Amino acid sequence: MIETKKNWYSSLLLFVIFGLLQFLSCKKMKSENDFLNKTGDLQKPKITTIIDIDTVTKIDTISMEMIWYNDFDKKVKCSNQPKDIEQTISTIYSIQEGPDYSILILDKNKILKFSKDGKWLNNIGEMGSGPGEFINPQFMCYSNDKIFIADPSNGRIEVLDSEGKYLRQIDRNKIGNMRFQFAVGPNDEIIARTKDMDSDLLMILDSLGNVVKKFGNYIPYGFNHYQQMHFNNMYIFFDKINENIFCVFENFPIIRRYSLTGDFLEEIRLEGERELKYFSELFEQSLRINKDHANKNDLIVTSNPFMGLASYDEKGKIVLSTFFRAKPCIFIIDVSKNVANIESIAFYKCDDIKNEPMPHNTFFVNGLLYSYSPNNSLFKQKNKE
């Protein structure tokens, strides 16, 4: 009996020691999980704003009407359809509000321009390497009456005027292997992710592509450099009124606000023990899978993004296309003041379509909400002028 007790105590002691070693190992792994930031203290925000999704009471329904059906072979109840393949949207890489409240859609090798009511107007650009041409462009930004196009296959950012006429370009030897998402500042500065493996998160380039400033820290998730860069993919917006930069992370419910001079003004965190539980579980699952990828030296990233699209309105609102209670929806967040707050959560409603894909990604045009569906049909918010 005494021998049995000794064995039991020995087993318990070993179990406690093993648990302690595992805990310390996890803490070490977490501290070594930061591959890109500089050693030392990370930049802290002046304000941290927690938005508790569990307490949101304003749940809206936004009625949408189809204004463009993206198929010229099938007839549906929609006044606007393509007449041929040239007017058809094949892949939406980027979508922006253009001149006179038009809609600019970056496709594989062209930009399609639509009126605010969904009428096709014209195409801009074509496949190639010459002025005004591009090959599989990745991103587009409309700002200061110009169209800025990330054209990595040709190693450049192209700049066109509002009608699509070529103005200039920034070459790869200036921008390096920068990320495709970017915003444009008041003097045509490019506000973008830094080059791969850079220890700063953001950089500002002048209109010629020269680096003016670098700042910001990565969110320390991922088990190698490649994973950490992927997890920090983001949408970048520039607030012209207050000259603030917003970084909206795809894989985290986090938004950061920086000044144009690099000050970390605010970190906005969306939390919810109940309403975000499913996302949290998927995120933890992806971390376990990615740890296994890293241990095998595989350059693979498994992620479950928090949102599919983010858009910014000049009145200071950010709309996130995400899921809520297992349904596609949008979060509308007011960032017009020094401290952000959530304005509403809204579900889509489309009464006039049947057996067609519902809208799932939403953007602003002149203060109105527009969306597109998986088959790239366009929808507009109803009953609001």
**CATH of residue 288:** 2.120.10.30
pLDDT one-digit tens code per residue, 38-81: 766 789 999 999 999 999 998 999 999 999 999 988 877 788 99
How many structural domains comprise the chain?
A: 1
Of the candidate ranges 94-108, 164-178, 337-351, the one whose mean pLDDT is the lowest: 164-178
Amino acid 1 reads M
Q: Between 251 and 355, name the one with better pLDDT.
A: 251
The boundaries of the domain holding residue 129 are: 41-381
> Quick check: helix, strand or coil at residue 326?
coil
129: confidence class by pLDDT, cuts 50, 70, 90: very high
> Given a cut of 80, is residue 23 above it in pLDDT?
no
Burial class for 125, CB neighbours closer than 10 Å (0-12, 13-18, 19+): buried
Whose tokens are 């591009």? That residue is 134
> Given a cut of 80, is residue 177 above it in pLDDT?
no
Q: Confirm whether 28 is domain-assigned.
A: no
Q: Confirm whether 302 is domain-assigned.
A: yes
Whole-number pLDDT of residue 35:
75
Whole-number pLDDT of residue 38:
73
Q: Confirm whether 112 is domain-assigned.
A: yes
Give CA–CA dist 176/172, Å, rounded: 5
**Average pLDDT of the residues in 121-134:** 94
Q: Do the bridges between strand 368-372 and strand 361-365 make them parallel or antiparallel, or are there none, so unpaired?
A: antiparallel
Give CA–CA dist 385/377, Å, rounded: 21
> Given a cut of 50, is residue 19 above it in pLDDT?
no
Q: Confirm whether 4 is domain-assigned.
A: no
Q: For the chain, what is the radius of gyration of the CA atoms?
A: 24
pLDDT one-digit tens code per residue, 191-243: 998 877 788 999 999 988 899 999 999 998 888 888 988 899 999 999 999 99
Task: Read off the pTM.
Answer: 0.87
Give CA–CA dist 259/246, Å, rounded: 9
The token duo for 299 is 């350059």
Give CA–CA dist 311/370, Å, rounded: 10
pLDDT one-digit tens code per residue, 289-330: 999 999 998 888 998 899 989 999 988 999 999 999 888 999
282 alpha-carbon distance from chain centroid: 18
Q: Confirm whether 171 is domain-assigned.
A: yes
The token duo for 365 is 């045009």
DSSP state of 306: S
Q: Confirm whether 247 is domain-assigned.
A: yes
Q: Confirm whether 22 is domain-assigned.
A: no
Q: Between 66 and 176, name the one with better pLDDT.
A: 66
28: confidence class by pLDDT, cuts 50, 70, 90: very low
Give CA–CA dist 103/113, Å, rounded: 6
Q: Confirm whether 30 is domain-assigned.
A: no
